[in-house]
Structure formats: C-alpha cells, structure tokens
Structure 1
Amino acid sequence: MSSKTRNMLEGLVKDTSFKWLLGKQSSFDEEIEEMGRSPSAGTNWIPELSPIANVVVRRCSKILGVSANELRDSFKQEAFESLKQPSLFARNFLEYCCFRALSLSVGVTGHLADKKFRRLTFDMMVVWEVPAVASQALLSVEEDATVSLEAFSRIAPAVPIIADVIICENLFKMLTSATGGRLQFSVYDKYLYGLERAIKKMRTQSESSLLSGVRSKREKILEIDGTVTTQPVLEHIGISTWPGRLILTDHSLYFEALKVVSYDTPKRYDLSEDLKQIIKPELTGPWGTRLFDKAVSYKSISLSEPVVMEFPELKGHTRRDYWLTIIQEVLYVHRYINKYKITGLARDEALSKAVLGVIRVQALQELSLTNAMRYENLLPFNLCDQLPGGDLILETLAEMSTSRELHRSNKSKDTGSSPRSRRDTNNLVVGEVVVGDVNPLERAVKESRKNYEKVVLAQETINGVKMEGIDTNIAVMKELMLPIMETGNWILSVLYWDDPMKSSVFCLVSTFIIWRGWLVYVFALASLFSAIFMVLTRCFSREKLMIELKVTAPPPMNTMEQLLAVQNGISELEQNIQDANIVLLKFRALLFSLFPQASQKFALAIVVAATMMAFVPGRYLLSVVFVELFTRYSPPRRASTERLIRRLREWWFSIPAAPVVLQHDKNNKKKKN
C-alpha cells in the first residue's frame, strides 16, 4: 500500500469522516475503520474513487472473490478507451463492479430476503451519485442518504425483480410520492420486503393443487379473488349470474362457480392464443341496467357472447381496475410473443417480465402510498400499449431477445468467452446492462417518454380550453368557424353575382385555370402559402407561443334553460336524421322503380352523365360544369334558373319514399323476460 493511501485511510478513521458525511445512519462506518486497519487494504482501495465508493467496490470484490485492484485491471482490459477517460473512469468502473456483483448475486435463491443484499443495492445507488474522490463533499451532512431518479434508473434494472427499464421512472415516482422525489431506504426496504412476500405467495399458489387437471405445470398463478364469501366475483353471461372464484395465471383466466360446499369445474378463458380477445371495463346493474362501473368484459371469437366479471365493492372501482390491468398484461405479453414469434428461453423471459410486473404492483399495494396507483403505468406491456412509440419499444425488446439467443448459442460453442462481461461493438455489456451507456431498450424508452411528455402537455392545453355549458361551447365554435364562414359568405356573394364585376373576373380566371389543367398547381400553391404563413408566424411571434382566442361570453343560463337548450338540440338532430332517412328512402324508391316515371328520368340522366364522363376529356367537362353552375345566378340566367330549381323541387317532392317495417328481435324479448 502506498504511503499516500495509508495516510488517507488513517485520516478517515481518526476523523470519522464517514460519520460526518453520512450522519448517524451511515452503513459504512465500521467498514472504513476495518479497511484502515487491514494490512491488505491497499488491494481494495482505488485512489480515483470517493471513500464510500471504495467501500461499495470492496463489497463487490468480496462477492466476486477478487480484489478491487484485480477488478480495476479487468475493467481496463475489457473497457474501451472512451469509458476510461479520467472524468468518466470513477462512475464507469463503479458501474462495472456493481453490475458484475449483482449479476452473480441475483442467481442466489432468496436474495431479496438478505438484508445485506437490500442494503448493498441501495448503497450502490447512493454511491452512484458521488463516485469520484472529488465528489464526496456533495453528500448531505444533515439528512439520511437518499437516491435520485437517475441513480435508481441505472442500478435498479440490473436486478430484474426490483425494476424494469420500461416502467422504472413510474415506479420511482410511486416510491417517492411522499418524500419529495428522493428515495429513502426505509421505503425502498419495505418495497423489497413486499416483493419477497409476493414472490413467496405466487410460488405457494403455483405449487398448490389449485386448478389441478386443468392447469399445466408451467402455468404460474398470479392472482386469486373471490375466496372471501363477502367479496365474491360475479360472472355474467347473458342474463345469468354466478358468484365464484377468479384465478389468473400467466396463460389463462379461470372462473370457478361457487357450489354449496365446493367450486364447480373451472371455466378457462385462454389469453395465450390469438382469439381476437377484447378486454375492457364494463357497466353492470340489476335487471340489465348499466349503473355500476365495477366489471370487466371479455370477448373472443371462441365465445358466442361476451363474459362479464364483476368485482363488487362499496366505494370506487379500484378492485376492478387492478384486475383489468393484470388481465390485460397477460394478454399483451402473449400478443407480443405471437407477433414477434418469440420462442424458447426468450419466450420465458418475456413471460417473466409480465409476471414480475404484476408482482411489483402487488408489493406496492402493501406500502399504502399516498398517491392513487395507476396500475397500467407499472406494467411494462400495458405501458407500451399506451406510450407513443410503444410498438418501437416492443420491437427493440424483440431484437434484444434475438440477440441474446444468438449470444447464448455462440457462447455454448465458444467455451473461451467470458461468462461475466462482453464487448459488443463499442459497448461493455455486463448481463443485460451497458456500462457507461444505455442499451437500445433504454434508448427507445427515453425517446418514447419525450414524445409522451409532448402528448401530456398537449392534453393539458386541451383540458384548459374545455368549456362548460352548451351556450359557451357554441360561442367558442362560432368564433373558431368565423374565418370559414366569412370565406363561405364571400363565395356565396360571388356565386349569386352580388357584384357582377368580381363574379365575372372570378369566373373567367377559374375557367381558364380549369381549362389549362392547372387546378392541381393551385392547390399545391395554396398548401405552400399555408406552410410559409406558419413559418413566418413562428419567426415573428417567438414571444407568443400560442395566439389566444378571445370569445365574448354569452349571458349565463340557469339549469332549466340549459335543459331546454339540450332538448332543442336533440329535436334538431332528430329532424336532421329524419330528413336524411327520407332522402335515402327516396333514392331506394328510384332504384327499385317504385315510381316508374321518375325512375326513367333519373336513369336517363345517369346514362347521359356516364356518357359524357366516358367520352369528354376531364378538364373540358369540368370547365363546362363549372361555367354552367357558376353562371346560373348571373343576370341573364337568373329567371330560368329559378324556374328550373322550382321544377326539380316539384319533381323531388312527387317521389314517394320506400316503405319501412319495424320488426322486434325475439331474442331481446326473451332476455327481458
């Protein structure tokens, strides 16, 4: 050991520097004193690292069975030059040691139950923020050491059960909902303890005799509900309802109807096959009414009618939401497996990713966190279904699974390859994590989250402009439609020849454009001018990101006036639908010659139009039609146009509508009875 190193260690021991740095809750005090007294301390002390980073590296070296200096030599041999730069060396070397130690530790059964392992993973996160010898003063001297999101996101996913890259940020936000965005060890320790309990529960259920004869040995039981008689699960099929027990595995959903002293034969709803399943929230209620939002609807091509599972509870629908998301998670992971044709060990890894997601949710439920839990944000395949670019995340995940399969096959052929770390192109990979960099999956998740933040910001603006009251919304719509209405009024003015000079010029210019076949270029120029307008607006309105729409608020309406407005709106809508139905029924009458004289004229008009379209060039035909329509209300043609329109209306009103006969569905009558 060099004299400089020995003097530093002796100074730390004498001055109790770690106690000053980390306070009374420090988990490093005894170890730093032991390192100072040990004759082999020099082999476990890296001068570039902060004191607490040296302690963590020493723990890692004990797990790996090598000294810290040997780890440094291995890192220098395996890592690329970009990872060994002085400014990056401390953190990259720390990650290398941590990832190697964790990849070995997680192979030990029951590692979550080991208090030393739980403390080690947390200390790794603490140290990750202050890895270099120059950064040790950044630690708080008044508070217990806490962990940031960035540190948690780098270390936690190295232990698959603790966190997943896809949901890591959402998980951290849940764990720190009551601690100001910094993770405390007490919360982290309770979370890991909850994970251990959830794993034991799943293992016990899966090894039990539940669903014997129906469930395969490889199926893991994830959740059971309805075992308590006061909180059964109700299965609705048509008008029939059965109370019973609901069981979810990583392949299927099972329902066992409750008999007098036992359960009936389980019904199996397969989630692993491509049966076009649709799982969504559903409303239920007595006698077919839709009152309570506490159920899940399951549809598939293998069922003649949908099955509804109801989860009764006094307040809210938390129980239903939980079951909805975990059922969807199993469905989504199998869709992913089927889409990308994942097989072998990669298939088991995908199922494990979904199973671990459910276990994490179960562990978080025991923490009694202050914030309401959004289950879909904590399950990786659920989250990919809603994130922008979630399909790209799954595609990257599939590519990484294929790459790992190839690496395993190559590794089995090449016995000389290192079992602990490997160099992929420009990266140093330990297990499934990359030292000093992010893997492709992390990169895809970060890109997706950036896009998601834009969606959230856009949604906030949408929520901010939602108005209450029909009259207010109509006023806003009128203001928004004002430019279009003004343009429409100008076109009508030209069309009705209110100003003969303007109408004549417009008619001549438009006819010339159509005749020359330049109509496409006109639309292209209009689009180009729109783009130029947006660019100029962006350049000259940098301070104003959004132009506010000013709307004159209508006079306030009381409840009765609002109800009358709704009733009038519904009446107008009904009238419009009736008018549309009459038009369609009249065309049906013309098509089936219920009024032969009108049908003959209509057929003749269709033949003439078809002949002209077949033999007259398009631009000539369009020019003639435009001139004919545009000059109808010109002074010379106005009188004849009015007579023609009157005759057409009289002809249209003389056409009878096709008859309509309403038939009642007999099945609906049976269901009502």
Structure 2
Amino acid sequence: MENESGILENLMGGQHKSSNNFFMKSINFFNNKKRDDDEFAKNSPKPLTFLSSFANSVVFRCSKILLIPTEELQHRFDTELPDTVKQPSTYARNFLEFCSYQALHLVTGRPDYFSDKEFRQLTYDMMLAWEAPGVESELLDKETASFHNQEAEDEDRWSLFYSNPTNMAVQVDDKKTVGPEAFARIAPACALVADIITVHNLFDILTSSSGHRLHFLIYDKYLRNLEKVIKGAKNALGPQLLSNLKLDEGEIILDVDGTVPTQPVLQHIGISAWPGRLILTNYALYFESLGVGLYEKAVRYDLAMDMKQVIKPELTGPLGARLFDKAVMYKSISVAEPVYFEFPEFKGNSRRDYWLDICLEVLRAHKFIRKYNLKGTQQSEALARAILGIFRCRAVREAFHIFSSHYRTLLCFNLAESLPGGDTILGTLSSRLALLNARTSRDNSVGANGKQGLMFPVSLLTLCRLGLILHKEGIVDGEAIVPAADVCVGETNPLEVAVKQSKCETGRAEAAQATVDQVKVEGIDTNLAVMKELLFPLIESLHCLQLLASWEEPSKSTVFLVLVSYMTYRGWIRYILPFIFLVLAVLMLWRRHANKGGPLEAFKIIAPPNKNAVEQLLTLQEAITQVEGLIQAGNITLLKLRALLFAALPQATDKLALLLVLMAVLLALVPLKYLILLIFLEAFTREMPLRKESSDRWLRRVREWWIRIPAAPVQLIKPDDKKRK
C-alpha cells in the first residue's frame, strides 16, 4: 500500500509539474510576444493620424515588405490614384487597400509563400483592419476587452485542449472576426485564396458554423489545406502516376480517385464493370483499369473538343441494374455507348456529386472558351480560373467535410450555369478577358497606374509561380509587380456586380418556388378539387353557354343568337379576343391599386373526404382506365380515317370526297365571316324546338354511318432483343 501511495503521489506530482511547465511555457510565450510588440512599437515610424492603430500596424508591415516608407506609400497614393478614391469618407480604407494589394502581389511572387504562417496572419489582419481602418471607427475599450478576455479565460480554461479547431473558433471574441465585405475585398487579391465570382459563396461556407463571421482558426485551416492540395497536385506530376499517362503540354492533374482499395472507382460499359483509378486533368478524364497488381494503359475521355459530350448523374449497379444513385455518366460521339463511373460509398452520394461538379467545371470552361473564341493567354487564363476553383473546392471539402450544393458552389463556371442570368456573368468575364495584356512594365503598381481598362492573367501567373505549369514568355517581365486583375482600389469589379444581380434574381426565384412547395397537395381527388375551384369562372361560363344552347329559356337564347349573329355579320367578332385581354389587364391593374402591396388572400377550397392508400390506388386505377379509353377512342378514329383515305369502304369514301369538294368550294367562294355565321347558327339552333327533331335524326344518321366504317388493320411487331442478350 505504501508503494502504491508513493507511486500515486509521484504520478500526481509529475502531472502537476508537467501542468506547471506547460503554463510556464505559455506565460513565457505571451511575455516574449509582448516584448516583440514593444520592440515593434519602438522601431515603427510615426503612425499616420488618419489610420487606426491596427491599420497602422498593417500598413507598416506592408511598407517593410515593399521596402518603401509609409510616407512614400501615402505620397504615391495621393499622386497616382484618381480623385474618386481619395474622398475623405473612404480615404483610410482605400489607402489600406492600396498598401495591402501591393504587398500581397509582391509576397505571392514567391513560390513558397503559402507555407509562411506570417502570410496567413497578415492577410487576416488586413481584413480586420479593413473593417476598422480609420481613427473614428476605433471603438475598442481596453478595459472592456480585458474584462471579457479574463472572463473567457475563467469559463473556457480547458479550451486549449479542444481537438476540433471549429469548436475553438466559435469561442473567439466577435471583435476579432471578419465580415463578408472585408473578406471579399482582400481575399481575391491572392488568386489562389478566392475568386471574385465565388468569393461570397466561399465566405458563406467557411462561416456556416460561426454566425456568418470568419474566425482566424477556420481561415488558417482552410489555407493550410489549400497548401496540401497544391503540394498534392505537384506530387501528382511524379513518375509513378504518369507511367501510364501521356499528358499534353500544359495538362495538369486536378484530382485522382480510386487509389484506396476500400474506395474504388468502377467503370461500367454495358453489363461489364471493372475497378480502377480515375484521373481528371484540365483537358480530359482518364481511367486506368486495375489489372493483376498493376494499372493498365489509361483510356482517355476528352473534355476539351466539341464532341457533344454529356456528363450527368446516373443510376447503376451490377449487370446493368439501375439500383444505386452513385454514378457519373459520360457520353460523346467518340464512344460507342455511354460510360458510367460509379463511386461506391456507404452514406449518401457526396463523392459522386463532387466528381460530377469538377468534371462539369472543366467541360463548361472549354465550352466557354469555344463560345467566345478565346485564344492564347485568354484561353489559358479561363482554364486557370477553373483549375484554381477546383483546388479551392478540394481544400474546403477535405478541411471541413462540406460540399456545397445548389448555387452556392465554389466553381465559377458551374455557378454561372446554375444562376439565372448566368450568361451575363460569362459575357462579363469574356469582356474582361478581352482586355488581357500579357506584358507589364516595371513601374506598374496595383490600382495605381490609372489604367483601369487593363487586365492581367493573375490566375495563370499563380499557376506559374506555384510551379504547376511552365513560365510562358511574355506573361511577366522579370520581377515586375503585376496589378491585380480582379480587385482595384476603391472600385467594384464588374464580375462581382453581375454575380450580385444574378443572386438577387435567384432569391426571387427561390421565394417563388417556396410558395409553390407550400401549395402542393397530395392525392388525385384533392388536386382535382383544387383545379375545379381554380377553373370555376371558366366552367361557369361554359355552363351558361350550354344553357343558352339548350333553349330552356327561349327569350335569353334568342337575344344571344341575334346579338352574336349581328356582331359576326358586322365583323366585330375579331375584336372579342382583344377586348377580353383589355378587360383582364384593367382588372389586374385595379387589383394592384386596391391591394396596395398587401399579401394575397388564401384561396379557400373545400377538401374532399380523406381516402386511405387502397382507395387512392383504386382512384388512380380508374383514372388510368379512363385515360386509356380516351386514347383507344382516338386511335380508332384515326384508323377509320385511314380506312376512308385509302378507300377501304368505297361508298363511304365517295361521299366523304364529295363533302370535301363542297367544303373547298365554300371556303374558296364564300367570305369567312359568313361561314363562321353559318356554323354558329347550325350549332346554336340545334336544340331549338323547331329544329330539334330534324337535327336529332341527322345526328343519328351520321353516327350510324360512322359505325359502319371499318378500322384499318394494325400489326404489332415485337422488337428484336438479340442485342440485349
């Protein structure tokens, strides 16, 4: 017992000692950080009076990167930028953007900038400073901040040991988080971090669990995973993966699937299926079948050429059975029959949806290039946008296990395809790409050259600097600072304006679709009751016409007959339809004025009695039987007309031919209004007491004549199913 108690005391003492060591290291870390901050404050130049203290620190770090004093940066901003961005209300924010853009584009010129922790911290601090750039916006109370920090330390003492960074991030003070506008202004300055078209969707995904505010831990995790994706793309260019592939110049491997034995990719052609490895590049899909321990030669499925390619989700299964919704179908004129790539997984079909989206992104990027006839650098820049979008999508998917759906996609060409008015986005992008200038001089700077019409291939430059593609002559000259194409100091990119307009239309469409979903009812009898009530005015009008035509009230029928006959004789019948449209328009405008934007009253409908499942099936069967009877009657009518046309009954054919000749003569000689008047008088006076007996006798003779006409024969031929066997 003494030994055991001694061991326990030693263990407790060791734990206490290790805890003390941990917290002593933490205290030393914060003391060192405070000492570094004091040295920074001592060595920093005189702060600019119009900037907040935090914005001053960001500007000073930018000046150190650019090796330009802050006073010189302010002088360049004042002399080189137009007066529209130097208004007093936005001067501090625009100056911060000016410094940030220049520093970021110098930093991103290094191939290893993404592995630098200070780069991630600097970009995040730029966003924080963007939200509070001026002195007047600096509302932080040091006492309140210290009180909240102490309270947070007391309540969440053990939050340092949380394993999930997302859980830690939501505990950070809201004052140290970034909003959507700051993210949208700073992040696209680095083409790898965000695209101006999808930047708001990226922010929504990153902040889906943090109250629409971006925490640094989330942002840092996203960038670290993006760095892993880039390294993986570089490693994919190694000899092991390329042993069976023959990639063209400029072809980049974007993703690979099927390398893990527990997550294969199955290729279905006909009723045969084979496991293998699926590879996507910026020009094609490759599938390598798995042989005996080795991959066979890759089969190429082109995505770049115009081959009427179709890529869509599809059901598949063993022996051609349509069981599992986990496949992507590829079809084009280059393959004899459709090819299905199945992505087996136990839960859901997110793996299939991801591959469907990235394949469609490459396909739509090439369609965009062909539509606007892009060549050279313009074509390479469009493809580079698609490539970087896929890399960002991979990083988000691997970091947070989130895959965006509907219009909140991170892929710009898919987004333009799914949004209403997406053609406007693509048209704006093509006009921007038309301004591409592959060369830039050494004295150009971000947003400072006043040449707002110029655009530079920043996505293509990003791929070159990352080492994914070779440097092309003419893209960049030496160590020149290339202006940002998607961000300009104090201005909004036309692409962002087009996306916002399209999303506004999407919001209206979604609101309208929500109302549609609310009014959907189940059951055939219920839907028929709703339709009957909605068509009540039309049904009532037809019922009134039927009563007039039945001559149950001769006085009303006579007045209607004389009125319509006179209108037809005078030629006023052609004004009836325009008059109806005019009345409807006036009614709609009057209702709009009377409602004054108020909500529409609910349409009240008496619901039919509830029916169980068996009764509903019987009702459905009865409805199908009635529809089948109508189709049969229509087919019999067509077959009898075929028999008359081919003279199966010569006497009936002669009578019908004579009737057609008389009708042709009447149509050729008699004016149309008299023919309409004649048809109306014959149909409306059929139930008139003076004509009822003779009209009934005539209709009976016509029915008897129609019954005696035989139907043309029909022969059903079974299809040949040898091919299926």
TM over 0.5: yes
The residue that corresponds to 2:708 in the other structure is 654
The residue that corresponds to 1:226 in the other structure is 258
* Worse-matched range after superposition: 374-383 or 353-362: 374-383
Q: Please point out which of 174, 178, 183 is paired with 2:209.
A: 178
| CA shift for structure 1 position 611 | 4.0
| CA shift for structure 1 position 420 | 6.0
The residue that corresponds to 1:462 in the other structure is 516
- Counterpart check, 1:161 vs 2:192: yes
Q: How big is the alpha-carbon RMSD for the aligned residues of Structure 1 and Structure 2? A: 2.9
What is the rounded CA distance, in whole Å, between the counterparts of 1:25 and 1:366 in structure 2?
Answer: 32
Matched residue type, 2:45: A
Give the SS at the match of 1:422.
coil
| Contact map agreement 1:422 1:430 (CA 8 A) in 2 | no
Q: Please point out which of 7, 22, 41 is paired with 2:45.
A: 41
Percent identity, aligned pairs only, is 46
Matched residue type, 1:123: D
C-alpha distance 235-33 of structure 1, shift in aligned 2 (>3 A): same
* Worse-matched range after superposition: 442-451 or 526-535: 526-535
1:516-557 Cα deviation digits (max 9, x unpaired): 444444322322222222222122113632221112222222
Give the SS at the match of 2:68.
coil
C-alpha distance 427-578 of structure 1, shift in aligned 2 (>3 A): same
Paired residues for 1:535-554 under 5 Å: 535-542=589-596, 544-554=598-608
What is the rounded CA distance, in whole Å, between the counterparts of 2:339 and 2:544 in structure 1?
Answer: 57
Matched residue type, 1:622: I
| CA shift for structure 1 position 345 | 1.0
Q: Please point out which of 53, 66, 69 is paired with 2:68.
A: 66
1:288-308 Cα deviation digits (max 9, x unpaired): 432211111222223332222
1:618-639 Cα deviation digits (max 9, x unpaired): 4443343334333333333333
Q: TM-score, normalised by structure 2?
A: 0.82
What is the rounded CA distance, in whole Å, between the counterparts of 1:424 and 1:238 in structure 2?
Answer: 57
| CA shift for structure 1 position 326 | 1.2
What is the rounded CA distance, in whole Å, between the counterparts of 1:502 and 1:27 in structure 2?
Answer: 102
1:45-101 Cα deviation digits (max 9, x unpaired): 321121111111222222222122222222222333232111121112222222222
The residue that corresponds to 1:17 in the other structure is none
| CA shift for structure 1 position 372 | 6.9
Q: Please point out which of 95, 98, 104 is paired with 1:96.
A: 98
The residue that corresponds to 2:488 in the other structure is 434
C-alpha distance 357-221 of structure 1, shift in aligned 2 (>3 A): same
Matched residue type, 2:247: R
The residue that corresponds to 2:179 in the other structure is 148
Q: Please point out which of 651, 675, 696 is paired with 1:621.
A: 675
Matched residue type, 1:104: L
Paired residues for 1:455-494 under 5 Å: 455-494=509-548
* Worse-matched range after superposition: 582-591 or 367-376: 367-376
Give the SS at the match of 1:298.
strand
C-alpha distance 420-623 of structure 1, shift in aligned 2 (>3 A): same
Give the SS at the match of 2:535.
helix
- Counterpart check, 1:112 vs 2:143: no
What is the rounded CA distance, in whole Å, between the counterparts of 1:615 and 1:154 in structure 2?
Answer: 76
* Worse-matched range after superposition: 250-259 or 570-579: 570-579
What is the rounded CA distance, in whole Å, between the counterparts of 1:389 and 1:619 in structure 2?
Answer: 47
C-alpha distance 30-521 of structure 1, shift in aligned 2 (>3 A): farther
C-alpha distance 287-427 of structure 1, shift in aligned 2 (>3 A): closer
Give the SS at the match of 1:165.
coil
Matched residue type, 2:688: S
Paired residues for 1:182-581 under 5 Å: 182-208=213-239, 209-210=241-242, 212=244, 214-369=246-401, 377-404=409-436, 407-408=437-438, 421-424=448-451, 430-542=484-596, 544-581=598-635
The residue that corresponds to 1:11 in the other structure is none
| Contact map agreement 2:406 2:418 (CA 8 A) in 1 | no
C-alpha distance 519-366 of structure 1, shift in aligned 2 (>3 A): same
Matched residue type, 2:376: G
| Contact map agreement 1:420 1:431 (CA 8 A) in 2 | no
Give the SS at the match of 1:473.
helix
What is the rounded CA distance, in whole Å, between the counterparts of 1:399 and 1:426 in structure 2?
Answer: 11
What is the rounded CA distance, in whole Å, between the counterparts of 2:210 and 2:57 in structure 1?
Answer: 27
| CA shift for structure 1 position 506 | 3.3
| Contact map agreement 2:309 2:331 (CA 8 A) in 1 | yes
1:350-395 Cα deviation digits (max 9, x unpaired): 1111111211121112223578766972211111111000011001
C-alpha distance 486-265 of structure 1, shift in aligned 2 (>3 A): same
The residue that corresponds to 1:57 in the other structure is 59
The residue that corresponds to 2:8 in the other structure is none
| Contact map agreement 1:280 1:297 (CA 8 A) in 2 | yes
| Contact map agreement 1:255 1:266 (CA 8 A) in 2 | yes
What is the rounded CA distance, in whole Å, between the counterparts of 1:264 and 1:608 in structure 2?
Answer: 77
| CA shift for structure 1 position 427 | 11
- Counterpart check, 1:635 vs 2:640: no
Matched residue type, 2:327: A
| Contact map agreement 1:311 1:319 (CA 8 A) in 2 | yes
| Contact map agreement 1:211 1:266 (CA 8 A) in 2 | no
| CA shift for structure 1 position 402 | 0.2
What is the rounded CA distance, in whole Å, between the counterparts of 2:363 and 2:318 in structure 1?
Answer: 30
What is the rounded CA distance, in whole Å, between the counterparts of 1:34 and 1:371 in structure 2?
Answer: 45
What is the rounded CA distance, in whole Å, between the counterparts of 1:25 and 1:377 in structure 2?
Answer: 40
Give the SS at the match of 2:235.
helix
1:324-351 Cα deviation digits (max 9, x unpaired): 1111111111111111111111111111
* Worse-matched range after superposition: 157-166 or 539-548: 539-548
**Runs of 4+ displaced beyond 6 Å:** 24-32, 425-429
Give the SS at the match of 1:164.
coil
| Contact map agreement 1:147 1:183 (CA 8 A) in 2 | yes
What is the rounded CA distance, in whole Å, between the counterparts of 1:476 and 1:328 in structure 2?
Answer: 41
| Contact map agreement 1:80 1:426 (CA 8 A) in 2 | no
- Structure 1: state its 5+ residue gaps: 1-23
C-alpha distance 260-616 of structure 1, shift in aligned 2 (>3 A): farther
Q: TM-score, normalised by structure 1?
A: 0.88
Matched residue type, 1:170: N
| CA shift for structure 1 position 453 | 0.3
Matched residue type, 2:136: A
- Structure 2: state its 5+ residue gaps: 1-28, 149-172, 456-482
Matched residue type, 1:326: I
C-alpha distance 605-216 of structure 1, shift in aligned 2 (>3 A): farther
1:536-595 Cα deviation digits (max 9, x unpaired): 212211363222111222222222222222222222232232223223333333333333
Give the SS at the match of 1:403.
coil
C-alpha distance 256-509 of structure 1, shift in aligned 2 (>3 A): farther
| Contact map agreement 2:326 2:343 (CA 8 A) in 1 | yes
Which structure would you say has the larger Rg? 2
| CA shift for structure 1 position 198 | 0.8
C-alpha distance 207-218 of structure 1, shift in aligned 2 (>3 A): farther
C-alpha distance 593-76 of structure 1, shift in aligned 2 (>3 A): farther
In the alignment of these two chains, the number of paired residues is: 640
Matched residue type, 1:253: L
| Contact map agreement 1:232 1:245 (CA 8 A) in 2 | yes
Matched residue type, 2:255: E
* Worse-matched range after superposition: 468-477 or 170-179: 468-477
